[in-house]
Amino acid sequence: MKMEKNLVEKINAAAEELYPEMVKFAQKLVQTPSISGTEKNLADLDMEEMKKLGYDEVFRDEQGNVVGLVKGTLPGPTIMYNSHMDHVSPGDSANWQGYDPYGGAIDVCEADDQEKTVKELVECIHGRAASDVKCGEAVQIYAGGLIAKLRAQGVPIKGTFMFTGVVQEEPAEMVGMKYLIDKTFAEKGLSYDAMVSSEATSLKIYCGHRGRVELLITVYGRTSHGSAPWLGINAIYKAIPLIEKLKDELYPSLPVDPQLGKASVSLNIIECSPGALSIVPDKCMLSIDRRTIPGETVESVIAEVQAIIDELAAKDPEFRADVKVKTATEVSYTGVSCEAVKYMNPWKISTDHPFVKAASEALSALGQPVKYGYWDFGTDGSKTCGIDRKPTIGYSPMQEQYAHTPYDKCRTDFMKKALAGNAAIFLNVSEQGLEAFEKVEW
């Protein structure tokens, strides 16, 4: 189905009208620090703005996530537009070339084009989280406002536009998202049919990323005096053959995904205990960053390490080790404490999936070139597609290369395009039949 020219004109006109206020709002978001666990002021701003823009329902859940709904005039799917409200530290402000990380300054400066091949002189908003994800967040909230505006003009709207702003994505993807979907939605009788993420995509449609498992392997020994090591079992020495197997056997044997690339394993921290010079250690702890591809599971990742442990134990009766997935406790700004398991699911959606096709069609109708990509980093798509298997894509004005750097900025010309783009995606995907919302498989 092609989008009508008349509708495209209405979208563009509304985007043009909302654009100046949207840029001011994005600036305000950048000027409001919201490091993970301190998102309250930002959440307040999001809620206020959604009310101002004519959302029908706006609420905050117990964990501090915010939700806004724009209801259509006809039955249809609920499309979730998702942003995280937190961000990482600005780091040393001396590296910010004169910009205040919380200044939200707007100027004309050099920025990459979409393909990162040419620098262009364009207007940008500067500051921490401009590219991860406050400018994308402003665009999504305004896209809901644009839908409300079209509805007021008498344009028939199918389904529901849902904005969700979640807490604590940076330290632990999925902590806010899982709480919101599994607890808050369940309690309120809400559900969603697909998700559009605001994480940086340079106006391309992103279709997945690898998963991540943080593993802790503990190798055991027995203490003795450091002056008499022959009386003990040195846990560090016992870890050596295990480390070699991870590096020389497991790593080269890992599978490759044609779109997302190679699975990987990397030993990034070694600690030992008791950790004093006069004592042979009886514990050696290895922290492993394991990146997974679709088809791999937390069970399969654990099993392959367990197989190495079993093999070594069969050869050496003194060898003892175990492996587990790391956990961390995260407390939200409202005081809700969650035990986060450090496992983020991999996911991908085919560019031929009817949902992705409908989104592409919407961008084409606006005259935006349709390009696809995949993230290097993780997102809350690990919950919506990785676990829930709902169609999920990324579409955002922000550019990946500026995220978490002191060059953090977002092009305002991309923001205007993304505002119209997000609204058009909503209007076109909500017209699709049930096949566009079927479970994603790989």
Query: For residue 345, which of 170, 210, 179, 194 has the smallest C-alpha distance?
Result: 210
Residue nearest to Zn ion (CB): 132
Nearer to Zn ion, 223 or 382 (CB): 382
d(CA 80, CA 261): 28
d(CA 238, CA 349): 43
Supply the minimum distance, in Å, between the C-beta of residue 300 and Zn ion: 27
Nearer to Zn ion, 174 or 323 (CB): 174
Residue 94: exposure state from Cβ atoms within 10 A (0-12, 13-18, ≥19)? exposed
Nearer to Zn ion, 179 or 375 (CB): 375
Supply the minimum distance, in Å, between the C-beta of residue 206 and Zn ion: 12
Supply the minimum distance, in Å, between the C-beta of residue 379 and Zn ion: 7
| Sole residue written with tokens 């390490």 | 305
Nearer to Zn ion, 69 or 203 (CB): 203
Supply the minimum distance, in Å, between the C-beta of residue 199 and Zn ion: 5
Supply the minimum distance, in Å, between the C-beta of residue 381 and Zn ion: 11
Query: For residue 217, which of 321, 297, 301 has the smallest C-alpha distance?
Result: 321
Nearer to Zn ion, 209 or 291 (CB): 209
Supply the minimum distance, in Å, between the C-beta of residue 254 and Zn ion: 26
Supply the minimum distance, in Å, between the C-beta of residue 132 and Zn ion: 4
Distances (CA, A) of 90 to 14, 102, 136, 145: 34, 9, 18, 30
Nearer to Zn ion, 137 or 199 (CB): 199
Distances (CA, A) of 273 to 221, 282, 313, 317, 403: 10, 6, 21, 21, 36
Supply the minimum distance, in Å, between the C-beta of residue 82 and Zn ion: 11
Nearer to Zn ion, 360 or 422 (CB): 422
Whether the CA torsion 355, 356, 360, 363 is positive or negative: it is: positive
Other C-beta atoms closer than 10 Å to the C-beta of 428 total 23
Nearer to Zn ion, 43 or 312 (CB): 43
Q: Which residues bind Zn ion (CB under 5 A)?
A: 132-133, 199
Supply the minimum distance, in Å, between the C-beta of residue 383 and Zn ion: 14
How many angstroms separate the most distant Cα atoms in the chain?
85
Query: For residue 115, which of 181, 221, 204, 197 has the smallest C-alpha distance?
Result: 204
Q: Residue 346 has which token pair?
A: 């991999």
Helix (H, G, I), strand (E, B) or coil at 376: coil
Nearer to Zn ion, 39 or 199 (CB): 199
d(CA 359, CA 262): 28
Residue 104: exposure state from Cβ atoms within 10 A (0-12, 13-18, ≥19)? buried
